[in-house]
Amino acid sequence: MATREPPLTLGIEEEYLLVDRDTRAVASEPPASLFADLHERTSGRAFPEFLRSQVEVATPVCRTVSDARRELGELRRAVIEESAKHGLAPIAASSHPFSLSSRQRRTDKERYIALLEEMQGAARRMMICGLHVHVGLDDDDLRIDLLNQLKYFLPHMLALSCSSPFWEGERTGLMSFRLMVFNGVPRTGLPEQFSSWGEYRRHTDVLVETGVIADTSRIWWDLRPSLRYPTLETRVMDCCTSLEDSVRLAALNQCLLRMLYRLRRANQRWRMYSHLLLGENRWRAMRYSSDAGLLDLGQRRIVPFAELLEELIALVREDAEALGCSGEIEGLREILARGTSAHRQLAVHRRALESGASEQEALEAVVDWLIEETART
């Protein structure tokens, strides 16, 4: 058992879609010079993703949530300013309101060529973006122990991040359609439960040794031990349009892991539940965000999300104080009060239709709102 305090450092990754400022459609072939300029300006922390129309940014290792906010804000500003030189703008959302995935072009990298060859139609639909949060845990067995427990809270984090209610011009009826797309890819969804790092390696080594995957970076669970870093990487969340929401969810990740570590030091732990039950909450978060509550598996009833959020804030209050992020944790209430990006996109769409806009004009109004809100750094 780990006896020294884990570092609990933070790293945040966000993925954006680049859109044409005039047409509001996804820019399927942005100029290569844009990515070259971004690479130089950010020292390699902004780079193309699977699609040419996607940009990923990654903060350096941050000690505090305040540091992470500053770094992420600088990266967003870099993408916004460099894109503007080409008549483009990034949107921090997990799907585009109306562009078609079939019209997008793949980034010309060996990794992505191999991915498309393997995944075929499932990969061609991957016009989706996410928010990934790394928290530093430098003991491998501790990573597995806390992975097993943290997955209980994945639906809560998803519900607070939803930003993909539209897909290819249609209102999907889901608040996070991104995960419906991602579920079509193997080795996704809730992580398996393992008794130790050794057991995790024994299972994943089978996939590597048989050539099914090159390495464990090709396991895309909602939560996974990072291959490149001594971290747990939470991947379930949609990309938040609001910078503050991204930072608040990063703080929640950090605080939950510190809380679970405190329990471990006291010879306690969070109760384990089956994938059947956790998967139901995951679905409810995808479908409703915070609108219909989640299963409280201890009480065996559906609890309104506002009540669950208050319990969550109280649960990690001590940890937020210790980590210096009480403001971000208390600020989670604001997401609930004004709605996630998905709620706000739907409201923009509805108001546009009510004012006499056509369906296409209403969807374009959503893109305009996404551009504006993404830029609030």
CA distance 306 to 66: 26
Q: Give helix then strand counts, H and E, for the chain.
A: 15, 13
What local confidence, expressed as pLDDT, does residue 1 receive?
47
CA distance 44 to 35: 10
pLDDT, tens digit (0-9, with 9 covering 90-100), for 25-64? 999 999 999 999 999 999 999 998 878 899 999 999 999 9
Q: For residue 290, give the nearest of 245, 336, 329 by alpha carbon.
A: 336
Average pLDDT value for residue range 209-230: 94
CA distance 92 to 245: 11
| Buried-exposed string 104-116: b where 16+ CB fall within 10 A, e elsewhere | bebbeeeebeebb
Grouping H, G, I as helix, E, B as strand and the rest as coil, residue 10 is strand
pLDDT, tens digit (0-9, with 9 covering 90-100), for 200-218? 999 999 999 999 999 999 9
Give residue for tokens 């970076």.
217
Residue 256 tokens read as 């939950």
Say what percent of the chain tops pLDDT 90: 89
Pairing of strands 294-296, 231-234: unpaired
What local confidence, expressed as pLDDT, does residue 3 receive?
61
pLDDT, tens digit (0-9, with 9 covering 90-100), for 316-357? 999 999 999 999 999 999 999 999 999 999 999 999 999 999
The H or E element that residue 136 is part of is strand 131-136
C-alpha distances out from residue 357 to 99, 341, 351, 354, 362, Å: 18, 21, 9, 7, 6
Q: For residue 161, give the nearest of 278, 286, 277, 50 by alpha carbon.
A: 286
Domains defined for the chain, CATH in brackets: 10-374 (3.30.590.20)
What local confidence, expressed as pLDDT, does residue 43 receive?
97
In sequence order, the β-bridge partners of residue 120 are none
CA distance 299 to 323: 30
DSSP letter (8 states) at residue 167: E
Q: Which residue has the higher pLDDT, 338 or 114?
A: 338
In angstroms, how far is CA 168 from the centroid of its own chain? 20
pLDDT, tens digit (0-9, with 9 covering 90-100), for 250-290? 999 999 999 999 999 999 999 999 999 999 999 999 999 99
Average pLDDT value for residue range 56-84: 98
Query: Are the C-beta atoms of residues 97 and 341 closer than 8 Å to each other?
Result: no
Say what percent of the chain tops pLDDT 70: 99
C-alpha distances out from residue 172 to 104, 242, 356, Å: 20, 22, 22
